[in-house]
Amino acid sequence: MAKIVFTVDVDRDAACAAPGEFRAKCKHSIEPSFEASYSGFRDLLGLADSLRIPAVFFFEAECVSLFPDVPDMTHEIGCHGLHHEDFTGAETNAPITESQRLGLLTKAKEILENRFGSKPMGFRAPYLHHDSALLQLLQTIGFAYDSSVMEGKKAGPLPELFLPDLKDAKGKQTLGYLWQLMEGNRSVEEYLEAINSYKGKYLVLSTHSWHSRQTMKKKLSEQQAKENLSKVKQLLETLKERHEFVSAGEVLG
């Protein structure tokens, strides 16, 4: 039995880097779209509540500020950037300076505090792009932990909720993301096989809020979205029989 932390990145629909820009774009539209993200967030929140699984939601602050509402939540909240920035510039080729990083993340943290009435505890870098200066800065801003680094790689000064070095049944690196399940390239059974044979101390399982309603290729119908959500439900329910779902705090000590 392993301890599993279920995490959800709540960001703009099919978020991807825009060359030369801080702000992310959506794969399918020039104008940012948050519809699939909002509906999917509500779906996953309902699912976690009904299965009594503690979850961590890492929110892009601009995204959540445009949601029509946010419910009272018993789950932990974290920060996933202000506009889903590529902080290192690895994909945008537009690196963000130290003082810009401080301004963007301080604002993101404030927006989340105002929207939820509680502090975001953890941070997850958009695209997981980080460097040692960014990990240092998180401590200055007042986050309690980071979750952008894969196990075996160098973490910063804060406690690190490591992403697993989890390969799927076909040998592809997943980092614990349900990406290939949501894109229809892997089955629930294949994910179960990979997770059940994972040998780490704990496993962070992650998905994106929009991904059950919108793949990188297209928007899904209500029926397809239901089917995708039911795959996540089946996976979590089956894992719950053998493993223990816990909060981030429980594995970070």
Beta bridge partners of 122: 78, 145
Residues whose CB is less than 8 angstroms from the CB of residue 158 and which lie 6 or more positions away in sequence, other chains included = 135, 138, 139, 143, 144, 145, 146
Nearer to Zn ion, 83 or 186 (CB): 83
* Binding range to Zn ion, per CB under 5 A, among 2-10, 90-98, 165-173, 229-237: 2-10
- As measured in angstroms, the least distance from the Cβ of 165 to Zn ion is 20
Nearer to Zn ion, 147 or 228 (CB): 147
- As measured in angstroms, the least distance from the Cβ of 125 to Zn ion is 9
Q: Does 62 bind Zn ion (CB under 5 A)?
A: no
Q: By CB under 5 A, how many residues form the interface with Zn ion?
A: 3
Distance of alpha carbon 2 from alpha carbon 181, whole angstroms: 21
Of 5, 11, 151, 181, the residue at the interface with Zn ion (CB under 5 A) is 11
- As measured in angstroms, the least distance from the Cβ of 111 to Zn ion is 16
Residue nearest to Zn ion according to CB distances in the complex: 11
* Binding range to Zn ion, per CB under 5 A, among 100-108, 121-129, 177-185, 197-205: 121-129
- As measured in angstroms, the least distance from the Cβ of 52 to Zn ion is 26
Site string for Zn ion, 150-179 (x = CB under 5 A): ------------------------------
Q: Does 86 bind Zn ion (CB under 5 A)?
A: no
Q: What angle do CA 76, 42, 104 make, to 5 degrees?
A: 55
Of 40, 126, 164, 176, the residue at the interface with Zn ion (CB under 5 A) is 126
Nearer to Zn ion, 94 or 169 (CB): 94
Nearer to Zn ion, 17 or 220 (CB): 17
- As measured in angstroms, the least distance from the Cβ of 86 to Zn ion is 10
Nearer to Zn ion, 84 or 243 (CB): 84
Query: What DSSP letter does each residue of the chain carry, written as one string?
Result: --EEEEEEEE-STTEE--TT-SS-EESS-SS---HHHHHHHHHHHHHHHHHT--EEEEE-HHHHHTSS-----SSEEEE--SS---TT-TTTS----HHHHHHHHHHHHHHHHHHHSS---EE--GGG---HHHHHHHHHHT-SEE---BTTSPP-SS-B-PBP--B-TTS-B-TTB-HHHHTTSS-HHHHHHHHHT--SSEEEEEEEGGGGTB-SS-BPPHHHHHHHHHHHHHHHHHHHHHSEE--HHHHH-
Q: Does 9 bind Zn ion (CB under 5 A)?
A: yes
- As measured in angstroms, the least distance from the Cβ of 177 to Zn ion is 10
Q: Give the interface with Zn ion as residue ranges (CB under 5 A).
A: 9, 11, 126
